[in-house]
Structure 1
Amino acid sequence: MERQKQSAPNMKFAGAFSVACVLFGSHAGGGFATGNQATQYYVQYGWTAPFMAVLAMALLTLTIRECMIMYNSRGLGSYKELFQNLYHPFDKLSILFDIYFYTMVLCAVGAVIAGAASLLSKTYTIPYAYSVLSIGAILLALTIYGAAMVSKASTVMSMGILASCAVIFMMGINAKLPEISTIFAVRESSSSIYRGILKAFTYAGFQSVVIPTMISCGRSLKSKKEVSRSMMIAFVINSIALVLSVIMLLGWYAEYKAAGEATLPSLFITKQLGKPYVYWAYNISLFLCFISTGVTTIYGFVEKFEKMKVLSGIKKVIIRRIIVSSFIMSLSMGISMAGLDKIIKYGYGYMGYLGIAIIIVPFLTVGYYKNRKYLKEKYDSSSNETNQQLNVSFAENAEF
């Protein structure tokens, strides 16, 4: 009995940590690993970049915290119900998240194709258009025939890219310590702090596309306290990873900008470090991470739309899957032709602004108020009906 009591806190921590790791894995994927996002949203604005990165992670984790509290406390069954609760009595506004989500996912797949194509172009000097076609063909084939295999291997691929990035960050920072020290000493900046704050909000806005995944994984968290603990862990590990990336890129920014290598700055840095094993480990891991992200994202689309009424006349599942995959791939490849820089600047940027308006601000204001009111009313109601200890503990832990 005593052993069970001791293991309960450990199990709760393990649950909170595992949910935090889902957010970390979603954030620290191929887009993060290229250094392109960090360059466009933080690094180019100077010495305030690390602080703005921390602000963005605070905004994101606080927003997801309110999402999970609302979702779990009310026993909701889908992200659509979540946003209907948030926007109530204007429930139909939940369609705004659908528009945001599907547009953001298409941009993400476009960025995956553009990133992988840029990697092929720079590594093997293959023309960009041919690289896009090659990546599109690989993703289409794997989505139709090998999604399960890629899904199982995605964790290994993600660990590979994270391990590579950790080594690169340490070596890259060490190689540019004088330059980094100078940037912070003279407070070198190319924009106002208000511009940096807007970019932090925008970054949190487009990263909020992970909400459906997070509320699904966060069902295991049984109290407000567990949700808060999980998001605190997520804030810490995501902030550390992003800040290390930003600091390294700050030191190299002038160099890779002058070389015209801002599309894949981390790749440029690994080449300059003069360690072939680090370069190729990163190169291969990044490519596989792009492919993994692309396949799993497209497959999620395919599973949702292959059962549409318009395709109900087609009996063979494989044919329906090919049709849906081909349609999504065509849209994504069209987006990818704009190039990784423009997708992240404009696609992610505009969706980030929309995310601020329909997700970040509403959840941190209206959502916070509704959650607090709902939990208080739930506790008051249960206290009036019974004085059992279970209900007393709800006051302390905000149990769902």
Structure 2
Amino acid sequence: MEKKNNRLSAALGITFVWFTTQFGGGFASGAQLKSYFINYGIWCLITCIIAQAINAFYNGYTVYYCKKHNTYNYRDFCDGIYGKFAPVFSNLYEIIYIVVLLVVPAVAYATGGSTLSTLLGIPYMLCTLIIGVFIFVVSIYGTAIVRKTATALSVMIVVGLLVVFIPNILAQWDSVRSNIGALSAKPAPIGPALFSMFLYATSQSTPPVAILSQHASVLEDKKDSAFTFVIGFLVNSAMIFISVLGLLAIVDLPEYAESSLPILVLVQNGVGGSILTPIISILIILGSVSTAVNMVSAGTIRVCSALDKDFDPDGKPTKKVVIVTLILCVVGFGVAQFGLLPLVNKGYGLLGYMAIPVIIIPFLIHFLLRKRIDP
């Protein structure tokens, strides 16, 4: 019984790390869902789930390989999985991850800071500083704390999403059903919908390589990776489907077409707007911060592991950990102050394209040939 409990606990911990990695400000605001799925018509009800299946496969294989070979930082993992091509592909991934480390924390500061400023009415720079301090403190205390924080944040985010979406889906069910019928009647070529879905999945495949590799050690056996990512697929699929379904209540409204925060349009046109608006604001902040914590922590572990072969990611924060984490947080803070959010958002699409030759194709080849090259 204890072994089963440990297995489930490890699976849920990794699931919530994946969830908080995916659930950033773009997801929380509904902007990502609108851009990658809903804009392509009725297929959004299926493509949002297929994207989770793609990521579950890649995430699961990453964790499986890391546990099998005891490689718990992403450089060791990349050197192993790329084999003789590691001098090229491992360094290409390093370049991609440097871009990610600039993009994700900057998004957290910019979206979280502006949302907190609107919610509390205090200066934007002070808000970004508050968020930066939180990210810094959590990130320096190792992977175990990150998992616990991810679990706590995930529970709050999941509960918050359900509180927002379920009442609005029920109250606006006639609109949801009507808009689903209208979308079904409109021409919706499947090709563009599948390509957008694929690009979303590839852009989401880059951070987990670095993040989930450090958490694979909590599994008792490499075979537990399959169980872990079945759980992860179910949780992430349920949340993204509910979110997409909720937004379908408002796709016919003029405000939806013009809004970069469609979830606020849903709340303002649904039930409990005065109560749910601050809840949505908090969700956007939590989503941004949780993703940034995962990324900064992974970056710290990568750098500190390179500097010290005996580095323990779950140990007490050392001077090196504090300095490296502080540098990463300050860089993200600095980028956000330049107002680069629109450029940063375009960066996610670029990351999606870059991931295809560096992650998507090589990992698939390795999986198909694993019995021959990695018995």
Measured against the shorter chain, the TM-score band is 0.7 to 0.9
Q: Residue type of the partner of 1:83?
A: C
Aligned to 1:351: 351
Q: After superposition, what is the alpha-carbon deviation per residue over 1:111-138, rounded to whole angstroms, capped at 9, x for unaligned?
A: 2223224425765788xxx63x343333
Q: Bigger shift: 228-237 or 168-177?
A: 168-177
The corresponding residue for 1:57 is 52
Given the alignment, which residue of 203, 207, 227 partners 1:206?
A: 203
The whole-number CA distance in structure 2 between the counterparts of 1:145 and 1:87 is 34
Structure of higher CA gyration radius: 1
The CA distance in 2 between the partners of 1:257 and 1:194, in whole Å, is 28
Q: 2:261 aligns with which of 245, 261, 264?
A: 264
Alpha-carbon distance in 1 for matches of 2:219, 2:107: 32
Q: Distance in 2 between matches of 1:317 and 1:7?
A: 34
Q: Is the 8 A contact 1:16 1:230 kept in 2?
A: yes
Distance 2:294 2:170 in 1: 36
User: What residue is the counterpart of 2:316 in the other structure?
Assistant: none
Partner residue in 2 for 1:225: 223
Pairing 1:267-286 to 2, within 5 Å after superposition = 267-275=264-272, 276-286=274-284
Using the TM superposition, give the Cα deviation of residue 368 of structure 1 relative to its aligned residue in structure 2, in angstroms: 0.6
Rounded Cα–Cα distance in structure 2 between residues aligned with 1:207 and 1:325: 21
Partner AA of 2:95 in structure 1 = I
Amino acid at match of 1:273: G
Deviation at 1:236, TM superposition (A): 1.1
Q: Displacement, 1:191?
A: 4.8
In the TM superposition, 1:94-113 aligns within 5 A as 94-113=90-109
Structure 1 residues 11 and 299, CA gap change in structure 2 (3 angstroms): closer
Once residues 190 and 117 of structure 1 are traced to their aligned partners in structure 2, the CA distance between those partners, rounded to angstroms, is 40
Are 2:67 and 2:222, in contact at CA under 8 Å, matched by a contact in 1? no
Say which SS state the counterpart of residue 181 (structure 1) adopts.
Answer: helix
Say if 2:27 is the partner of 1:32: yes
Deviation at 1:188, TM superposition (A): 4.8
- Matching residue's letter, 1:197: L
3-state secondary structure, aligned to 2:258: coil
How far apart, in 2, do the equivalents of 1:7 and 1:357 lie?
42
Residue 180 in structure 1 maps to residue 193 in structure 2? no
Name 1:16's counterpart in structure 2.
11
174-183 or 319-328: which moved more? 319-328
Cα distance change, pair 302–242 in 1 and its aligned pair in 2 (3 A):
same
TM-aligned CA distance change 1:253 to 1:134, over 3 Å: farther
Counterparts of 1:117-156 in structure 2 under 5 Å?
117-120=113-116, 123=119, 131=124, 133-142=125-134, 155-156=151-152
Structure 1 pair 39–188 and aligned structure 2 pair: CA distance change class (3 A): farther
Task: Name the SS for the 1:169 alignment partner.
Answer: helix
Shift of 1:15: 3.1
Q: Alpha carbons of 1:326 and 1:308: their partners in 2 closer, same or farther (altered >3 Å)?
A: farther
CA shift at 1:239, angstroms? Answer: 0.6
Q: Which blocks of at least 5 consecutive residues in structure 2 are unaligned? A: 308-318
String of CA shifts for 1:126-152, please: whole Å, max 9, x gaps. 8xxx63x34333344556678669967
Task: Go from structure 1 to structure 2 and tell me whether the alpha carbon gap of 1:347 and 1:256 turns closer, same or farther (over 3 Å shift).
Answer: farther
Give the superposition deviation at 1:170. 0.8
Partner of 2:362: 362
1:72 maps to amino acid: K
Match of 1:83 among 78, 87, 102: 78
Q: Which amino acid aligns with 2:176?
A: I
Give the TM-score of the pair, scaled to structure 2: 0.80
Deviation at 1:362, TM superposition (A): 1.9
SS at match of 2:248: helix
Distance in 2, Cα, partners of 1:52 & 1:125: 38
- Among candidates 190, 193, 196, match of residue 190 of structure 2: 193
| Counterpart for residue 331 of structure 1 | 335
Give the unaligned 5+ runs of structure 1.
1-5, 310-314, 378-400
Q: Please report how far the alpha carbon of residue 323 of structure 1 lies from its aligned counterpart in structure 2 after TM superposition.
A: 5.9
CA distance in 1, matches of 2:96, 2:223: 30
| Cα drift, residue 301 of structure 1 | 4.8
